[in-house]
Structure 1
Amino acid sequence: MRKIVKYLLSVIIAIIIVMLIQAFIIIGAVVKTDSMAPELNKDDRILVSKVQAAFNQIHNSDVIMYRHNGHTYFGRVIGTPGESVEYKDGQLFRDDQLVKERYDIKNPIQNLALRDLKHSEGDILAPKHYLMLNDNRAQQQDSRQFGTIHQKDIIGKVVLRYYPFQQFKISFNE
């Protein structure tokens, strides 16, 4: 009887530890669309770190998982709070400085200004707001449709793709 109780206690403790890790540190997810292709493709299995979001360590070019109206999306951070962001003739400008995007983009944007986005208050990102775009820019379920994304809606940063195995990858920013 004592061995059964010890075994059950060990299983319960293991379950609690896994639940705590998933609640506060890292979660697994499955990509449902090709909106981030070629970086992330439909049915990719990934790990998302919640630590960066909890400590406000989200940076430009990070690929993140976020919520909007009860749905979960993946996107690339193009602008962070306090920055001005604009696309002119297909080129990205942050704070009036040309930025070379070092990741693959399908269907690039020619022109976009923050002031043109839904709920935008001007040319500078508000505190705790991020500009998110898909790498497959033809799919506009991102800040172009939703407006900027509030910090509280960011779930975490994509840190690892483990499936498909031949496309294993650890870093998802520039």
Structure 2
Amino acid sequence: MNKENMKMEILDLNNEEDTKTTDEMEPKKPEEKTSPVKEILSWVLTIAFAIVAAILIKNYVIINANIPSGSMENTIQIGDDIFGFRLAYTFSDPKRGDIVIFNAPDSPSEKYIKRVIGLPGETVTIEDGKVYIDGEALEEDYLKSNQSGEDAWTVNAGPYEFKVPQDSYLLLGDNRNGSSDARVWEHTYVSKDDILAKAIFRYYPFDRFGAVK
């Protein structure tokens, strides 16, 4: 066999059938259509997941509070809607000045919102509308009663002395003339276990939208 015949035989092996790809040789499968049942099930599962997530967030992460009284004016107004963070004190303790939502000491089924004033182990005294922590005056620029005239702190303005237990906190409202708080409660102090959340954000009304502090 001469060289020309050998070349022809090699070229003949590379015909069109041999150059087709596997994908071209296999028939295409028809596209699968999602059945109505599967689609409905997908929506049901999505909605169920969203509901469960909302319940978990509401019960374990965020507390939503509407303010019914003026005990925290002017910091928080009647009708304000507040978010509280339930996990704020999971790995830390409340600090002086924090605004907290808690079970009312004399009526645990009710929820109150006040400011942390006295910390565990401290002696808090009130004299003539002034708060002292272990003998040192406390600066309170958030008080409504910092103003003169009819807004001056004159109601339950002292003298009082509180020795805060090691496991508890002393809480007062910012509107000292209009707040039911540690000065009048039968059960004076609030334990950490009864503090439900730290108030962190006001989302309504929109003109006061922002952090609570």
Q: Same fold (TM over 0.5)?
A: yes
**What SS does structure 1 have at the residue aligned with 2:100?**
strand
1:158 maps onto 2:206 in alignment: no
- What displacement does 1:129 show? 1.1
Cα distance in structure 2, aligned partners of 1:29 and 1:11: 25
With over 3 angstroms needed to count, the CA separation of the structure-2 counterparts of 1:144 and 1:3, relative to structure 1, is same
2:70/2:179 contact within 8 Å kept:
no
- What displacement does 1:57 show? 2.7
1:97 maps onto 2:144 in alignment: no
**What SS does structure 1 have at the residue aligned with 2:68?**
coil
In the alignment, residue 60 of structure 2 is paired with which amino acid?
F
Count of paired positions: 164
Q: Look up the match of 1:25.
A: 61
Q: Look up the match of 2:97.
A: 61
Aligned ranges for residues 124-163 of structure 1 at < 5 Å? 124-146=163-185, 147-163=188-204
- What displacement does 1:56 show? 4.2
2:85/2:200 contact within 8 Å kept:
yes
- What displacement does 1:165 show? 0.4
Q: Which consecutive residues of structure 1, in runs of 5 or more, have no partner in the other structure?
A: 116-123
Q: Look up the match of 1:71.
A: 110
1:170 maps onto 2:211 in alignment: yes
TM-score normalised by L of structure 1 = 0.86
1:40 maps onto 2:57 in alignment: no
2:203/2:210 contact within 8 Å kept:
yes
Cα distance in structure 1, aligned partners of 2:41 and 2:88: 38
- What displacement does 1:80 show? 1.2
Higher helix share: 2
In the alignment, residue 70 of structure 2 is paired with which amino acid?
D
The percent identity for this pair of structures is 28
Instruction: Identify which range, 36-45 or 131-140, moves more after superposition.
Output: 131-140
Cα deviation, 1:86-128, whole Å, max 9, x if unaligned, reads 122332211222221121333425324334xxxxxxxx31022
1:114/1:125 contact within 8 Å kept:
no
2:128/2:159 contact within 8 Å kept:
no
Q: Look up the match of 2:124.
A: 85
Cα distance in structure 2, aligned partners of 1:160 and 1:65: 12
TM-align CA RMSD: 1.6
1 or 2 for the larger relative contact order (CA 8 Å, sep ≥6)? 1
Structure (1 or 2) with the larger CA radius of gyration: 2
1:110 maps onto 2:157 in alignment: yes
- What displacement does 1:52 show? 1.8
Instruction: Identify which range, 6-15 or 96-105, moves more after superposition.
Output: 96-105
Cα distance in structure 1, aligned partners of 2:210 and 2:110: 25
TM-score normalised by L of structure 2 = 0.71
Cα distance in structure 2, aligned partners of 1:81 and 1:72: 21
